[in-house]
Structure 1
Amino acid sequence: MTAYVVPLLLCAFALYGISQKVPVFDAFMEGAGENAKVILRVLPSLVGLMTAVGMFKASGALDLLQAGLAPVASLLQIPREIIPLALLRPISGSGAMVIFQDVLQSFGPDSYIGRVASVLMGSTETTFYTLAVYYGVTHVKKTRHTLPSALSADLAGFVCSALLVRLFFGAAG
């Protein structure tokens, strides 16, 4: 039954539009054209962001940051293996997903590290990607407090992921 939900919704929208005397196909084509324009406006920001992420990983900066942040992570009781995920999650969803999958394969989804990684992925956002897309589309140049606020929320998600996993599932081990 669930396989028919999307086709039924599309038919319902089309029938509703027809009943309201809306030229459904023309409206669809107009919307598709507007979306193509949005994609073209956002594309340069996305290419720049993806290039920066690739350079960040290839340069070894991720490894240096992981080594430098290990004492802070230890103090906050965040597993060292999660640091690359926490660093890449605000920048790249696909890069974070690769690291996340590696964590789950290496430690298992029911391990402490796997659970922390899972909670972290669900409670944080690809902040820089989201800002690039939304502010790129709306042509906003002055983001004011958006980036510090979003990164603060990500930091809270990082710290709370380890804390809540320990609280609900017990100590690491």
Structure 2
Amino acid sequence: MMNIGTYAVPVIVCFILVYGYLHGVRVFDVFLEGAKEGIQVSMSILPALIALVTAVGMFKASGGLDVLSYALAPVANLLGIPQEVIPLVLLRPISGSGAMVIFTDIIKTYGSDSFIGRVASVMQGSTETTFYTVALYYGAAKIKNTRHTIPAALCGDLTGFVMSALLVRLMFLN
């Protein structure tokens, strides 16, 4: 049986090439120009990304993540967030890879069908790496003033964290 998903990307690429050719676009030249621009953008945002990754690594290695998790446990308990996912709550807005390491540890320790595993899964899928995304996109656009972006995005993340715990509790713990 033929799997349509296997052919989706090649069909889209061929469509773009044919469409460009039929409309007189020099597709290869445009591709090279875009690749050159992409490399320049990558080089301009690289310092911010290195600083972010270094800061996250230092925070985890210093034990600061554990201290902050312990300090926030009463607030998390009040919001209905399990104490075991607090490190995920703290790292998810900062680092996708750091959050993925913590998420994997949670799943290995508690299982994917446990309450904690389900809450972590929903959190991982419904929140964003806010600071990474802002650093990436604002750095690429050379925007220095984020104005209300970070507070609004963090409010969205907080809503995602609280609602993850609430909805998992409502849907799975009758």
Partner in structure 1 of residue 168 of structure 2: 165
Unaligned 5+ runs, structure 2: none
Residue in structure 1 matching 2:128, options 115, 122, 125: 125
Residue in structure 2 matching 1:151, options 139, 142, 154: 154
Amino acid at match of 1:13: I
Amino acid at match of 2:138: Y
Task: Note the 1:20-99 alignment, pairs <5 A.
Answer: 20-99=23-102
Partner in structure 2 of residue 100 of structure 1: 103
Counterpart-to-counterpart distance in 2, 1:14 and 1:160: 44
Residue in structure 1 matching 2:139, options 116, 136, 139: 136
Q: CA deviation at 1:133?
A: 0.5
Which digits, 9 at most, give the CA deviation of each residue in 1:97-127, with x for residues without a partner? 0110111111111110011001111111000
Q: CA deviation at 1:15?
A: 0.9
Q: Figure out how many residues of one structure are paired with residues of the other and give that number.
A: 171
**Identity percentage of aligned residues:** 61
Q: Secondary structure at the match of 1:166?
A: helix
Q: CA deviation at 1:145?
A: 1.1
Q: Secondary structure at the match of 2:143?
A: coil
Amino acid at match of 1:24: V
Structure 1: 4+ residue segments shifted above 6 A: none
Amino acid at match of 2:44: R
Which digits, 9 at most, give the CA deviation of each residue in 1:75-107, with x for residues without a partner? 222111000000000000000001101111111
Amino acid at match of 1:81: E
Q: CA RMSD in A?
A: 1.0
TM-score by length of 1: 0.96
Amino acid at match of 2:145: K
TM-score by length of 2: 0.95
Counterpart-to-counterpart distance in 2, 1:74 and 1:95: 23
Counterpart-to-counterpart distance in 2, 1:55 and 1:156: 27
Counterpart-to-counterpart distance in 2, 1:21 and 1:32: 20
Residue in structure 2 matching 1:112, options 97, 105, 115: 115
Counterpart-to-counterpart distance in 1, 2:8 and 2:155: 38
Unaligned 5+ runs, structure 1: none
